[in-house]
Structure 1
Amino acid sequence: MNDHYLKKIDRITAILTQLQSKPIVRAQDLAEKFEVSIRTIYRDIKTLENAGIPIIGEAGNGYSLMDGYKLPPVMFTKDEVLSFITAEKLMQHFSHESLGAHYKTAMEKLRSILKYSDKKLLENIEKQIDIYNYYPKTEDYIKNIIPTILQSIAEKVQICIDYKTVDEKISTRTIEVVGVFFEFNYWYLIAYCTLRKDFRQFRVDRILKLNKTQNPFLQEYGQINDYRKNPNANKTIVKLLVEKKIMPHLGNSKIYYGLTEEKETENGIELTFETEWISEGFPRWLITFTDYAKIIEPESLKTTMKELIEKISKNLSQYS
């Protein structure tokens, strides 16, 4: 059997797996995934149909398996089996506690269908992999909070929350959740707030109480990344000229503070930010490498930095 037929068998098997895992699969998406022509995908679908697989759909729309049709358990490669244990270690350290128990039971089910040699492989390797996390886990007031939030998204119903702000003020909000995300060791949700008539970002561990209502919402909000990139907030454009040698030390923090463009010039790296923390957060971050940076704009940031440096200098003078 030549290499061409081996690749075809692998691709057809993978297409069958896609049909098992998704309600509908488009030929265009399959063609992009396997880097073949759409015509090749049509032929592969025909091969599956000829083998007796009941596929519903047609070219140009999408394909799915007939409802109720059962396939034998999927077989995993060794590389896929090893990826499971790595993912499990990551979930143990970085997943939200309300998701951890559900993931653990899912992994137990997955392990149960592995063949004996693969189970032994996991047993032998799992103690050789570890993840070191130096950030303490946050504690939530509500058990299973993220699954409840995800249910509200799936069911498209509003939730009512009691929320404590950073200055310890508590307010009650009815919100329509767009999505959740993890950043800098905290879980957040982005939602439309019916009180403010606008989109807001909430830190999950500051939610004191949560009730899933029976009130549906009909608005289609799209993907969470649409709001992460363009959240509704008062933003200030900041431009810095930074020495190249300090760039590796900025890491992901520059993204956190609103980096939108990074351009190399003869005099250094020009960084452009859109930040809503121009008064406090951004200046205090900038002070950590201000000896390697020049503020291009705005002028107000230069004034803020001078005042901050003077305050630091005054505080330090008491130790001289």
Structure 2
Amino acid sequence: MNKTDRQLAIMLELQRSKVLRAEDLASIFETSVRTIYRDIQALSEMGVPILGAPGQGYSLMEGYFLPPVGFSAEEAVTMLMGTDFIEQRLDGDYASAAQAARRKIEAILPETVHDESKRVRETMRLLQAREPVTNLREKDYLGQVRRAIMERRKLLMTYLKKMPETDGNRKSTREVAPYGLALIQGNWFLIARCDLRQEIRHFRLSRMTELTVLEDRFLTPNGFNLNNYRPSDDRNIRVLVLAHPEIADKIAETCHYYMESTEERKDGLIVNFLVRQPEELLSYILGWGGDVEVLEPESLRHRIREEAEKILKRY
């Protein structure tokens, strides 16, 4: 942080915290107390009304606000929750920037708006309890991927696929050109052109290992915009399931991406799924237990029986 940015940040800290000692400011900005003394003197010479009380610390003159920006409680909540999201979901660089942004926003809020926005945030949660948390390894990968995207550098990784190949191996080494990142249902995905498959593929960061940013560069296709990108739907295998109507909401919540249609019948609810491979639904169906029955394809019915027998043997 350069001197000008630090001095502005000192004013914002004083505005937010009311009274701070030089030692407190030195700790916040990771500098020496002597440097803070010089910054305070420079700000005073520029006309910023900083008051110093021996044994207490520094404060801004009552009624002095910088910058002259006003927010409603709703606007403040919107921005502060946005910084919460960034801090929770992105890598360290953006997490630090989110913390700094939050401090600046809180510093310029009038006391009444600050208190009201605090009460609103205490009654709202940004993330659902069942959503996965972005762990430290993923945040590290996220930072590397994000920088590779900006520098247009290729990535080399070992990727653990969801479904094994015919030889039973799930690991694959991929070299990719990273185009963008998407957060889908609490999971970070890399959208990249895979050199092995010669097409755009999606890679879940939680399944990456041994990630390396290469020196090789790539060119993004002309006109590519992640906000306008729509992946092709290659689901072409139909799975029919008979379900108890009482778990219809559970099926919709956990498996809506694969669901195509539902039909109510006397004996239950017929759910029509489209998948790339029937095994994609295996864990979901096992989780629904005796409340569902796979009607077709027969290969999936057989796989369910096999898994049920394995479970029975363990118990």
Interval of TM-score (by shorter of Structure 1 and Structure 2):
0.5 to 0.7
CA apart distance, 1:225:
7.6
Q: Distance in 1 between matches of 2:186 and 2:137?
A: 13
Bigger Rg, structure 1 or 2? 2
Q: Equivalent residues in 2 for 1:110-259 (5 A)?
A: 110-115=105-110, 117-122=112-117, 133=129, 135=132, 137-140=134-137, 143=140, 145-153=141-149, 157-165=152-160, 169=171, 171=173, 173-183=174-184, 185-205=186-206, 206-211=208-213, 213=215, 215-220=217-222, 221-223=224-226, 226-227=229-230, 230=232, 236-255=237-256, 258-259=257-258
- Using the size of structure 1 for normalisation, the TM-score is 0.58
Equivalent residues of 1:180, 1:224 under 8 A apart:
no
Q: Distance in 1 between matches of 2:84 and 2:115?
A: 17
2:264 aligned partner? 265
Superposed CA deviations along residues 117-175 of structure 1, whole A, max 9, x for unmatched, are: 434544566566566857565232774x43553455456x242223342668463x432
Superposed CA deviations along residues 29-81 of structure 1, whole A, max 9, x for unmatched, are: xxxxxxxxxxxxxxxxxxxxxxxxxxxxxxxxxxxxxxxxxxx9664222211
CA apart distance, 1:88:
3.9
CA apart distance, 1:245:
0.7
Q: Distance in 2 between matches of 1:225 and 1:259?
A: 22
Q: State the one-letter code of the partner of 2:221.
A: Q
Find the residue that maps to 2:263 and give its secondary structure: strand
Q: Distance in 2 between matches of 1:295 and 1:284?
A: 13
Q: Equivalent residues in 2 for 1:83-94 (5 A)?
A: 83-92=78-87, 94=88
Find the residue that maps to 1:287 and give its secondary structure: helix
Q: Distance in 1 between matches of 2:210 and 2:97?
A: 22
User: Which consecutive residues of structure 1, in runs of 5 or more, have no partner in the other structure?
Assistant: 1-71
CA apart distance, 1:95:
1.3
Q: Distance in 2 between matches of 1:307 and 1:177?
A: 39
Q: Distance in 2 between matches of 1:142 and 1:288?
A: 29
Gap change, CA 1:197 and 1:180, over 3 Å in 2: same
CA apart distance, 1:297:
2.3
Q: Share of identical aligned residues, percent?
A: 18
CA apart distance, 1:191:
1.1
Equivalent residues of 2:154, 2:175 under 8 A apart:
yes
Q: Distance in 2 between matches of 1:176 and 1:216?
A: 6
Superposed CA deviations along residues 171-199 of structure 1, whole A, max 9, x for unmatched, are: 3x432223322345532212111233123
Does residue 82 in structure 1 map to residue 77 in structure 2? yes
Does residue 95 in structure 1 map to residue 85 in structure 2? no
Q: State the one-letter code of the partner of 1:84.
A: M
Q: Equivalent residues in 2 for 1:11-30 (5 A)?
A: none
- Using the size of structure 2 for normalisation, the TM-score is 0.59
1:298 aligned partner? 297
2:99 aligned partner? 104
1:10 aligned partner? none
CA apart distance, 1:313:
2.7
Q: State the one-letter code of the partner of 1:193.
A: C
User: Which consecutive residues of structure 2, in runs of 5 or more, have no partner in the other structure?
Assistant: 1-66, 162-168
Equivalent residues of 2:154, 2:214 under 8 A apart:
yes
Residue-pair matches, total: 236
1:287 aligned partner? 286
Gap change, CA 1:304 and 1:101, over 3 Å in 2: same
Q: Distance in 2 between matches of 1:204 and 1:289?
A: 27
Equivalent residues of 1:161, 1:174 under 8 A apart:
yes
Find the residue that maps to 2:287 and give its secondary structure: coil
2:165 aligned partner? none
Q: Distance in 1 between matches of 2:118 and 2:307?
A: 55
Gap change, CA 1:102 and 1:252, over 3 Å in 2: farther
Q: Distance in 2 between matches of 1:103 and 1:277?
A: 41
Gap change, CA 1:208 and 1:109, over 3 Å in 2: farther
